[in-house]
């Protein structure tokens, strides 16, 4: 079967995208508006880019509900700061509750029962329940249209990585203790730990 995405309605192209690019890690992004009101939402179009500078990116799409930019993006455009909180299995249900598209100004921390913890280098708070936090300043923002189906790419420069002490072993993050989860297509998630296997990289140019 060969499918040209430009022959599809965007929701059908979207289904191909989430069915092809998986499992996806989840950036649980906390932001503030200009008055300091907090916002929290998950984004699975998320990846790292490079280590020096330490850059990460995620992609908020235009809201299909109202055709507007999502609150996370609006806040980042205004305040240029955000925190990526890594999602562990222990609070995946609560994380899901923050994905309800609330009115701007509604605090998803409160709605979903998360605890705010002061960040060290940015104004948006960390999610205390997360074991790893990436405090970011906006590095670059790219837009790919303004209609439902379109989206933006937020590139963040990591100012500070906060790792729960017991997870930081010999300069690495202990994946088992982190116990991250990944997003598949639709409502399906995957546990990272139960299904892992080892594959040594062959020698050669990096
Ligand atoms: C696990 C998960 C991953 C998500 N990933 C994305 C994503 O990559 N891009 C996106 O636009 N929305 C994504 N969403 C939906 C947003 O979280 C949702 O629209 C949210 O209400 C946006 O909040 P905001 O308006 O406060 O920014 C995801 C939802 C869940 C539950």
59 lines ligand 1 (CB under 6 A): yes
* Mean pLDDT of all residues belonging to the chain: 95
* Residue, of 124 and 202, whose pLDDT is higher: 124
Question: What is the distance in A from the centroid of ligand 1 to the CA of 169?
Answer: 32
pLDDT, residue 201, reads 80
Q: Calculate what percentage of the chain has a pLDDT beyond 90.
A: 87
Rounded-to-integer distance, Cα 17 and Cα 83, Å = 26
71 lines ligand 1 (CB under 6 A): yes
pLDDT digits (tens, 9 = 90+) for 101-158: 787 778 889 999 999 999 999 999 999 999 999 999 999 999 999 999 999 999 999 9
**Residue 74 banded pLDDT, cuts 50, 70, 90:** very high
pLDDT, residue 40, reads 96
> Hey, which bits of the chain come out as E strands?
27-32, 38-43, 46-51, 54-58, 81-86, 116-117, 126-127, 132-144, 151-163, 168-169, 172-173, 181-183, 189-191
Q: Label residues 173-184 b or e (16+ Cβ within 10 Å = b).
A: beeeebbbbbbe
Q: Could you tell me which CATH number the domain at 21-191 has?
A: 2.30.110.10
pLDDT, residue 35, reads 95
pLDDT, residue 101, reads 76
pLDDT, residue 203, reads 79
pLDDT digits (tens, 9 = 90+) for 84-98: 999 999 999 999 999
43 lines ligand 1 (CB under 6 A): yes
60 lines ligand 1 (CB under 6 A): yes
Nearest by Cα to 158 from 174, 135, 177: 135
Per-residue pLDDT for 206 more than 70? no
pLDDT, residue 100, reads 86
61 lines ligand 1 (CB under 6 A): yes
Residue 190 tokens read as 């995957």
What are the residue boundaries of the structural domains of the chain, listed by start? 21-191
Question: What is the distance in A from the centroid of ligand 1 to the CA of 43?
Answer: 5
């Amino acid at each position: 079967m060969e499918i040209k995405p430009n022959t599809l309605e965007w929701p059908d192209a979207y289904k191909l995208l989430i069915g092809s690019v998986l499992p996806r890690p989840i950036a649980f992004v906390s932001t503030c508006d200009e008055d300091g009101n907090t916002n929290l939402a998950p984004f699975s179009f998320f990846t790292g880019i490079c280590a020096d500078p330490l850059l990460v990116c995620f992609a908020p799409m235009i809201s299909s509900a109202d055709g507007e930019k999502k609150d996370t993006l609006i806040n980042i455009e205004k305040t240029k700061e955000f925190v990526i909180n890594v999602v562990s299995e222990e609070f995946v249900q609560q994380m899901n509750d923050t994905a309800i598209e609330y009115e701007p100004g509604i605090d998803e921390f409160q709605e979903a029962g998360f605890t705010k913890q002061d960040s060290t280098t940015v104004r948006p708070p960390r999610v205390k329940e997360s074991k790893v936090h990436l405090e970011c300043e906006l590095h670059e923002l790219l837009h790919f249209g303004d209609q439902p189906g379109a989206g933006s790419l937020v590139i963040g420069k990591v100012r500070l990585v906060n790792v729960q002490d017991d997870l930081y072993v010999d300069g690495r993050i202990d994946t088992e203790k982190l116990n991250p989860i990944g997003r598949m297509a639709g409502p399906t998630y995957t546990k990272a730990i139960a299904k892992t296997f080892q594959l040594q990289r062959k020698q050669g140019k990096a």
